Amino acid sequence: MNPDGTDNLILGNIIGEDSSGNPVANNYDGIFISGSNTDVSENTIAHNGIYGIRMNGNDNIISLNEIYQNYTGVVIFTGSGNTISQNSIYDNSFIGIDLQVLICPTCSFDFGVTLNDSGDVDSGANTLLNYPEFTSVSISLVEGTACNGCTVEIFLPDGDPSGHGEGLAFIASGVTGGGIFSIPILPGTVSGCQEFTATATDLSGNTSEFAPNTPPTGIACLATKLFVPTIIILIPGVVAGGWVYRRRRKPTGAVGGFLGGAFVGVLILVLGNVVFGEKPAEPLEPDRESIPLIEELEPFTDTPIPSDTPVLATAVTEISPAIASSQTPTQTPSPTNAINPTFTPTPPPTIGINPTFTATYTPLPIPTETSVPDSTGPSVSAVSDSPDPVNLEGTKPDTIAVSATVTDPSGVGSVTLYYRLSGGSLNTILMTHIGGGIYQFTVGPFKTAGLYQYYILAVDTLANANCSSGDLSACPGGTFLVNIP
């Protein structure tokens, strides 16, 4: 599937398998997005020979999908503002999310995990946004650092060999303040020593790769980890000590036998870990010789540009109706990457692929002397929740959809829903754009009955907010009731 252009919606499809869950023959991508403002939501994308989703564009949204058993889950070669939110990404041959950067003079792509850089000054797909870094992890609270104002989503990983993700199950989210996040985990969500991973999404909609998988700390988790090794060491020690004591009837002999047996237990533990234990994760490299990674991209060409037309050299997702109506049908759309238009059209194929691009332009609206920079937050209207009331978990309806229309002349960066049981602690979640400026998130099922309050905070691409997270009472919102059936 290759949606080109803008404002596409791919919703509720099964791609790569039949209705019974059996794989179907597809040696290429599940979805290849080469345009902008495409929403891909609530799809099953599996068993595709190359990528589950490939992107070369801007401001696309990938949300609430199940993406598994592809070569790579989601890969972005060029473009920015691409949001990847609340998906279940797991069991892919390569990593779950791969942000690419073009490395010249060989002009080849750098596959695999992109490690964080100091100050996040590197550039590439989705600005190569740094992933979150954990500072404290427990089964009830996850804390760490990420870009200021970023939405951090917490996942249970599937144990990818890279050590980063993949994001098997979304469990919580929150917004950083001053680059710091502290996100509570609902009781019962995590058991034992399950690891956590995370992504960050900045105010421009760029989503990072998955963070390193990190286990909880604390006495309970430590005890769980040490239980089996302790038993392996103690059993040989006790057996050997008892055998020596029965033979010699001397406590010192028993102690010596115990220590000797314990030493044997340590050897068993070490050798077992060497032979059967988990090996250090090595970064995987794709089989570039057998996979046509970039074959759908158009060759890089020099498109003539009228001398009297203003030109933008970076990506633009909207064209003024007044300007667009005056242009001829032969004009080309805006570029979807920030590569300099003087890029050499035929780089040497050092890895079996030829990444190529199309140089295009987009006419911009001519500014007037009276234009004023946008300094106000997005407009939030038509706030609603349905159905209301709902029931506790197990009796339908037990979920409620909160939605709102959000618009801004500079573009909407993020829309966050805050909700809580009256008097309780706040939960935060990133709302999903479902088209036409409407943002929505389904809350529930609920374990506690009562009156719930909710607020909606929207931020545009210039970091202007409609209200403050420090005073949510000024944010648009409402209430809904959860009944005991």
| 441-482 pLDDT tens trace | 998 888 888 899 999 999 888 888 899 877 888 999 999 998
Tens-digit pLDDT profile for residues 372-387: 678 889 999 999 999 9
User: How far is the C-alpha of 214 from the C-alpha of 290, rounded, in Å?
Assistant: 34
Same domain, yes or no, for 152 and 253?
Answer: no
**Number of domains within the chain:** 3
Same domain, yes or no, for 128 and 185?
Answer: yes
Q: How far is CA 56 from CA 201, 318, 337, in A?
A: 18, 17, 7
In a domain, 178, yes or no: yes
| pLDDT score of 239 | 73
Same domain, yes or no, for 134 and 24?
Answer: yes
User: Beta-carbon neighbour count of residue 289 at 10 Å?
Assistant: 8
Domain with residue 474: its CATH number is: 2.60.40.10
> Of 230, 255, 276, which residue constitutes the final position of a domain?
276
> Of 228, 247, 276, which residue constitutes the final position of a domain?
276
Same domain, yes or no, for 131 and 63?
Answer: yes
Same domain, yes or no, for 36 and 74?
Answer: yes
In which domain, by residue range, is 410 found?
379-483
Same domain, yes or no, for 181 and 37?
Answer: yes
In a domain, 252, yes or no: yes
> Of 151, 172, 201, which residue constitutes the final position of a domain?
201
Omega into 133 within 30° of 0, i.e. cis?
no
Of 480, 475, 440, give the one whose Cα is nearest residue 458: 475
Same domain, yes or no, for 186 and 46?
Answer: yes
In a domain, 308, yes or no: no
Same domain, yes or no, for 17 and 103?
Answer: yes
| pLDDT score of 249 | 62
Q: What is the average pLDDT value for the chain, to the nearest integer?
A: 76
Tens-digit pLDDT profile for residues 327-340: 334 443 434 433 33
Same domain, yes or no, for 190 and 235?
Answer: no
| pLDDT score of 319 | 29
Tens-digit pLDDT profile for residues 44-100: 999 998 899 999 999 999 999 999 999 999 999 989 999 999 999 999 999 999 998
| pLDDT score of 322 | 33
| pLDDT score of 339 | 35
Query: What residue type is assigned to position 131 of the chain?
Result: Y
Same domain, yes or no, for 19 and 134?
Answer: yes
- The model's confidence at residue 254, banded by pLDDT at 50, 70 and 90, is low
Same domain, yes or no, for 418 and 269?
Answer: no
In a domain, 320, yes or no: no
Residue bearing the bigger pLDDT, 414 or 87:
87
In a domain, 214, yes or no: no
Spell out the SS3 assignment of the chain.
CCCCCECCEEECCEECECCCCCECCCCCCCEEECCECCEEECCEEECCCCEEEEEECCCCEEECCEEECCCEEEEEEECCCCEEECCEEECCCCCCEEECCEECCCCEECCCCCCCCHHHCCCCHHHHCCCCEEEEECCCEEEEECCCCCEEEEEEECCCCCCECCEEEEEEEEECECCEEEEECCCCCCCCCCCEEEEEECCCCCECCCCECECCCCHHHHHHHHHHHHHHHHHHHHHHHHHHHHHHCCHHHHHHHHHHHHHHHHHHHHHHHHHHCCCCCCCCCCCCCCCCCCCCCCCCCCCCCCCCCCECCCCCCCCCHHHHHCCCCCCCCCCCCCCCCCCCCCCCCCCCCCCCCCCCCCECCCCCCCCCCCCCCCEEEEEEEECCCEECCCCCCCCEEEEEEEECCCCEEEEEEEEEECCCCCEEEECEEEECCEEEEEECCCCCCEEEEEEEEEEECCCCECCECCEHHHCCEEEEEEECC
In a domain, 296, yes or no: no
In a domain, 345, yes or no: no
| pLDDT score of 355 | 39
Whether 320 shows a pLDDT value over 70: the answer reads no
Radius of gyration of the CA atoms of the chain, in A: 27
In a domain, 323, yes or no: no
Same domain, yes or no, for 252 and 399?
Answer: no
